[in-house]
Chains A and B, each alone.
Chain A
Amino acid sequence: MLTVYIDFKIPDALFALPLTMDMCHRLNIDIDWQPMYCSAQETIAEQAEESKGETHARIKQELADKTHTFYAELYGIDLSPPIEDKDTELALACLLQLNEKKQEFVEACMESYWSNGLSLNNAQSIINILSSLNIKQNIDLSDAAIKALAEHNNNAMADHGFLHSPSYVLDGQVFIGRQHQPLIESMLSTSPD
């Protein structure tokens, strides 16, 4: 079993999804999809007076944006979802509660967000996704669910240290980013399970 922490709005999670699914399909490994709510990676405006640390953070984010665009163009992916509310809390709160069809839900959320321009922070959108997947489970989409998501985030951070999206947890080791897939695959291939 490979645990994968994900937030739908993070471009690296979008890039990672098919690779991760393909790897686990090839190796016949189940994925435990877990939500990891992340702050939106937004461009930082240049300030008239910046400390070195602020400049560092700004140009780091600028390069991350450029790099996402570079790879998106390379793979023919559109990274501009036509969504006003780009938050994903409600969908992640739903993922936390699901006890069936988690992978299908993850795929449907990615598709809804990045291709169909549906908000993942809107209760009706989430209900529609659940309905399209024929998921009958009773899901709480109230403020209590958002609170549970925040608690889940805190617990995951406490258990694993730093996490982002995507993060992989295997044999107690944390791997942040899809660049680790060769090592993860090597570990999964040699795992006695």
Chain B
Amino acid sequence: MNALTSDKKLIVYIDIKSPYAFLALKDTLALEQDLNLEFDWRPLTLDIESYLGSAKKSSGKVVESNRSELQWIMVKYAYMDARRYAQRQGHILKGTEKIWDSRLANIAIQWVSLYHRAHLEDFLNEVFTKFWRRELDIEDPKVIENCIELIGLNPDGFKHYSENEGREQHDQLQQELHPAGLFGVPSYVIDGITFFGREHLPVIRWMLLGKQGPAPQISYAL
């Protein structure tokens, strides 16, 4: 799999543990539906600790941290910003208490996308919404299998996939991301051009519709 090419018109990179990916979900899914297209949804499993330090909270208090003051300021702004938009989307967004290992959940997105494409929207909504309410232990295979069942799918085969070819495909793709210039989520790749952030969805829509009319400005939808 090449990180920048697809047989679909748009590649969408997401990670369940990113609040910005969560916020992008609604408008990206709406765009897919509006234009009657299928996007190529792929995991970009963030290594947050490598660029934003790490921290652990317990009962709302920081109990471990190696973040600099600037990193904390940026994290706090990011969550404040994400919360105000989540609220407008009708979602609850609770800050995570640790940096989760999201590989399994992201491999599940890969699996649903590959074998049950018609159910992908339901699965994304199921896992993202519950995770950001702190109702989902995304590191527990049984929890992920339960999410698969909840959207009406049989999870048989997922365990084997997640431990074998699914894991291999996921890990191989992650190795290709930095060299391809991909580092964060949500990222969108269209016509070989990469955009980072949901604020670019207006111009992505414009490009998908053949660049008719004046080019739009970047903006977050309300």
Contacts and interface: CB of A to CB of B under 8 A. Distances in A.
A62 B181 contact: yes
A74 B215 contact: yes
Interface stretch (A100-108, A128-136, A145-153, A171-179): A171-179
B220 A183 contact: yes
B41 to A, nearest CB: 20
Interface residues of B, number: 33
A52 B50 contact: yes
B77 A178 contact: no
A67 B195 contact: yes
B118 interface: no
B193 A70 contact: yes
A19 interface: yes
A154 B199 CA distance: 29
Given A59-B181, A59-B183, A60-B184, A51 B217 contact: no
B73 A180 contact: no
Given A74-B215, A182-B221, A186-B222, A56 B77 contact: no
Contacts of B77: 161-162, 174, 176
A55 B178 contact: yes
A63 interface: yes
Nearest to B76: A161
A63 B80 CA distance: 25
* Among A56, A60, A178, residue most surrounded by chain B Cβ atoms (within 10 Å): A56
A68 B216 CA distance: 14
Interface residues of A, number: 33
B74 A19 contact: no
Contacts of B76: 161-162
B141 interface: no
A71 B218 contact: yes
Given A52-B47, A63-B196, A161-B76, A179 B219 contact: yes
Main secondary structure of the interface of A (DSSP, over half): helix
Nearest to B199: A179
Nearest to A71: B218
Interface in B67-98: 70, 73-74, 76-77, 80-81, 84-85, 88
A52 B218 contact: no
B207 to A, nearest CB: 10
B197 interface: yes
A147 B221 CA distance: 40
Interface string A51-77: 111011101101100110011001100
A142 to B, nearest CB: 30
A173 B83 CA distance: 12
11 contacts: A52-B178, A62-B181, A63-B196, A161-B77, A162-B74, A162-B76, A176-B77, A177-B218, A182-B219, A182-B220, A182-B221
Interface of B: 47, 50-51, 70, 73-74, 76-77, 80-81, 84-85, 88, 178, 181-184, 193-197, 199-200, 203, 215, 217-222
Interface of A: 15, 19, 51-53, 55-57, 59-60, 62-63, 66-67, 70-71, 74-75, 157, 161-162, 173-183, 186
Q: Which 5 A-B pairs have the closest CB atoms?
A: A179-B199, A52-B50, A56-B51, A53-B51, A74-B215
Given A71-B218, A162-B76, 18 more contacts: A52-B50, A52-B178, A56-B178, A57-B51, A66-B193, A67-B195, A67-B200, A70-B193, A157-B73, A161-B77, A162-B70, A162-B73, A175-B81, A179-B220, A180-B220, A181-B219, A182-B220, A182-B222
